[in-house]
Structure formats: structure tokens, C-alpha cells
Amino acid sequence: MGRVGRTRSLGANALKSVCFHPCKTPKDYHKPPEPFHPSFAHHIFDTDQAIMDFEELNGSVHIFYIPDTFDVFVKIEGEGASFHACRERVMACLTNATCTNVAFPGGFCPSEHDFVAKLERRVTPDWRFQPPGKPLGGWKLKAGARGEEIQVRRCGFDDDDDEFKSLHRQMEWFLHWFIEGIEEIEQDEKWHVYFAYERPHSHNLRSSGGPGCLSVCGFATTYTKAYTFRSLLRVSQFLIFPHYQRKGVGTDLLEMIYKQALDDPKVKQIGVERPAPAFVQLHDVVTIKLAIDRNLVSPLAFFPPPPGAEVPSSASAAFPASSGLGLTNGLPLDKTRGRTHKLHSALFDAGASGAASSAAAAASASTASGGMSIGSKKRRLSAAPGGTTLQSKKRRLSWGG
């Protein structure tokens, strides 16, 4: 069977034709809210991300999924004499992975009736979904929230939890639509998964009469590389589903991962694997926030007071505004990345205590020169715009400004 989407002029843009519909209740299926679209489709279809003959058939692909169990039902719509054959080709790409060997683990729900039945069971009073992993903490959802709460759970592959492993593979399938160079991870003890679950507020539960099922807002994976004395933690995959973006979920999830690493004496450094530009900015924001929260830098370094304004003594910190560490001078973060990376290194040099160490002070002094700086002789894993870089024993390379 040939590939779907071999010629763009004959095909529909898959990024517009494919729609994702999260369904918490049967109503979400019969009257779906605003869908969201994928960012990439070349893993599923072809390199040009087009579905051949689909545009002239007025075709669309609707992927309905339940956001806790990740059961999926696919409905392909269109019209015309050749629609049936085209539908079969599209479904073959989604199920048999004729293009790039990215099939949905376990298979889709076989029928609309089967999928709706799962949704109906989900809203019954006796329905209980036990999320995997151990809870790390939570917070109330910010922008546009109605009292919903977010809970983060951490899961590992060091036990024989086949149900979790199956759920993870199903969720991993979604990454192919939103991360360009995604690869499946090895399900072993070196990897951990962080889930961000949304839970309705207790008042909303009582008013709706529903059981208050959890819904996955996003998730991240980390990889631990052990050395003789301390380990390196790498953030490998990170996804917040589009309908939860711009609500602070990504920032809080990454911050929780960083806090756990900072408070773990076994972790020497944390890095990022091939970060996308949006994630680099998110990383910068979290780094700056943690540096301020742990008194490694004064907020005045980022928000200097007006000339002549009185500065309270409590605002002073190990790195005042005059040090230049993290000082943005009104520039966007991508123009001050070298300084932000110094903050990142200083966080781990200071350790879990939150006090500024001599290593952090050295980072402050070297920031003014920018670029390459002499650093610790210990090996260090750091995030770089082009990928993760394992640095030499003599020099550590900071982000360019």
C-alpha cells in the first residue's frame, strides 16, 4: 500500500485536517468542544504532512480520546465516490503504521458504541480511576480556572506494573503529533514519568454530581545517568496538551521537577535533550524563578527600581543587581541566555540549602565576560539550544548571549 500524502498538490494539510477531541463525558463526544490540532504529522503520514486526495473529498480525521485511560476512537469523515478507499488508506496509516511504524499501542476502540460505553461508565458514581505513581504535590489551576486543582505524580519503570507501562505507551503515541524528533524511550529503571492531572474542585464535584475523574494535562519524562558519586538528570520529553497551555501548567510542572532534583543530594546537574525554542524560554523562566525563590539573586536584578527609589534591605541577596547575574536590562530572555545559564549552574552549586555558595559567587563574577568560562573540573550536563552537551573536565560552555 502506498504512502498517504505523497504529493502535496493533491492532498489536504494533515495539520488542519486532523482534530483531537478530549472526552470526559458522553456529551463531549456528541457535542465536542473546540478541538485542537497537531503540530506535526510526518511520523504518521509522510514527510510533506499531506493526506492525498483528502482535500477534494472534504475530509477530516477526528481523534477522540479519554484523558485518563487514553482509550481512543477515530472517526474519518468525507464525501465523494472515492472516500471509502481514501478512508481505508488513512486508517491504515493510523493503525498499521504503513509509513513510519508508529501504530497506536493496543489498538483503537473498535466502534463508536464501544467508546461511548466507556464514557458512560466513566461518569457513574462507582467509577474510580487509580492514577499511577506517587503524588508529589499540586496547586490550583491559574488562568481561566474554576477552582480546578493540578496534581503531579511521579512514576517509575522499576517494578512490574504492566498496566502503567501500557498506559505510558498509549500516551507516548500522542507525542509523535507534537514533538518533531520524538523517539520511544526504554521502559527501565533509569526513566521516570511525571504526570500533571487536573481534578475538579470539590464544590464543582458536588454541584455536578459527577465522580470527579482525573484528566491528564500533560506529562514529562526524565532520564538519570549515574556517575561515581552523583548523577545527572535529563529532561527528555515534555508535553502540555494545547487546551491546557497558557495556564501555568508547564511552568509549575517543570518547576516541580527542578525542585525535586535540587533537593536530591544525589543529583549534580539537570539538562534538557534537544529543547525546542518554546521549551528553552520555559526553562529560562523556571530558572529565574527558582533563583529568586532560593535567594540566589535579588528580584531587583530583573525589576530594578526607579532612580532615587528607596530599596529595602530585605531585597538584598548574594547577587545584587550590580553583579549583572541574570540582569536583563529590558532585553528578552533569548538575548541574555548566557547569564540565565549561569543562574542554572549556580542553583545546583548552591544545592538544596538555597544559600549562595562560593561556587555561585564565582558564577556571578564570570558572567560579565560571557561566553566560555573556566568552571568546575567535575563533569556537568547542561542544556544547550542545539541539544544536550556533556562538557569537558576543564571547561563548561554556557549558553551564548
- DSSP string of 171-234, one letter each residue: HHHHHTTT-TT--PPP-STTEEEEEEEEE--HHHHHHHT-----EEEEEEEEEEEE-SS-EEEE
Flag whether 363 is in a domain: no
Closest CA to 172 of 157, 183, 156: 183
What pLDDT does residue 343 have? 73
Residue 55 CA to its chain's centroid (Å): 32
Structure confidence at residue 207 (pLDDT)? 39
Same structural domain, 159 and 260: yes
Last residue of a domain, one of 122, 156, 178: 122
Domain of residue 17: give its range.
8-122
Inside any domain, residue 152 = yes
pLDDT band at 95 (very low <50, low <70, confident <90, very high): confident
Compute the 3-state secondary structure of the chain and give helix, strand, coil in percent, each to the nearest 5: 30, 20, 45
Residue 223 pLDDT greater than 60, yes or no: yes
Closest CA to 254 of 272, 231, 277, 274: 272
The predicted pLDDT at position 317 comes to: 43
Tell me, yes or no, whether 164 and 264 share the same domain: yes
- Among 79, 99, 122, which residue terminates a domain? 122
Residue 374 lies in a domain: no
Query: Is 104 strand, coil or helix?
Result: coil
Q: Would 237 be classed as within a structural domain?
A: yes
Give the integer Cα–Cα distance in Å for 327 and 368: 10
Q: Are residue 109 and residue 143 in the same domain, yes or no? A: no
* CA triple 173-179-185, angle to 5 deg: 55
Question: Closest Cα to residue 212, out of 121, 119, 147, 123?
Answer: 123
Contact 311, 377 (CB under 8 A): no
Distance of alpha carbon 100 from its chain centroid, rounded? 23
Helix runs in 35-82, H state only: none
Do 147 and 244 lie in a common domain?
A: yes
- Nearest-CA neighbor of 360 among 293, 267, 295, 265? 295
What is the rounded distance in angstroms from the CA atom of residue 165 to the CA atom of residue 157?
7
Q: Which of 244, 273, 302 is the last residue of a domain?
A: 273
Q: Which three cell numbers stand for residue 285?
A: 523562566
Indicate whether 170 and 109 sit together in one domain. no
For the stretch 6-28, pLDDT in tens is 434 456 788 999 999 999 999 99
Domain identity same for 89 and 147 = no
Shortest CA distance to 197 belongs to which of 255, 154, 143, 258? 154
**314/208 Cα distance (integer angstroms):** 47
Contact 1, 35 (CB under 8 A): no
- Lowest mean pLDDT segment, chosen from 47-61, 113-127, 240-254: 47-61
Query: Looking at residues 238-254, what average pLDDT do you find?
Result: 94
Residue 207's CATH number: 3.40.630.30
Cβ 154 vs Cβ 194: under 8 Å? yes
Position 272 pLDDT exceeds 80? yes
In a shared domain, residues 139 and 254: yes
- Say if residue 111 is in the same domain as residue 143: no
Hey, what's the cell of 61?
480525521
Element (DSSP H or E) covering residue 30 = helix 26-30
Does residue 118 sit in the same domain as residue 170? no
Query: Can you tell me whether residue 237 is helix, strand or coil?
Result: strand
If asked whether residues 155 and 201 sit together in one domain, one would say yes
Q: Quick one: which H or E segment has residue 11?
A: strand 11-13
Farthest-apart Cα atoms in the chain, separation: 77
Same domain, 174 and 154: yes
In a domain, 317, yes or no: no
Give the total number of structural domains in the chain.
Answer: 2
- pLDDT reading at 182 higher than 50: yes
Grouping H, G, I as helix, E, B as strand and the rest as coil, residue 140 is strand
Q: What is the pTM of this model?
A: 0.76
> Do residues 64 and 23 touch, judged by C-beta distance below 8 A?
yes
The answer on 77 and 174 residing in a single domain is no
In a domain, 381, yes or no: no
> 308: which 3 cell numbers?
532615587
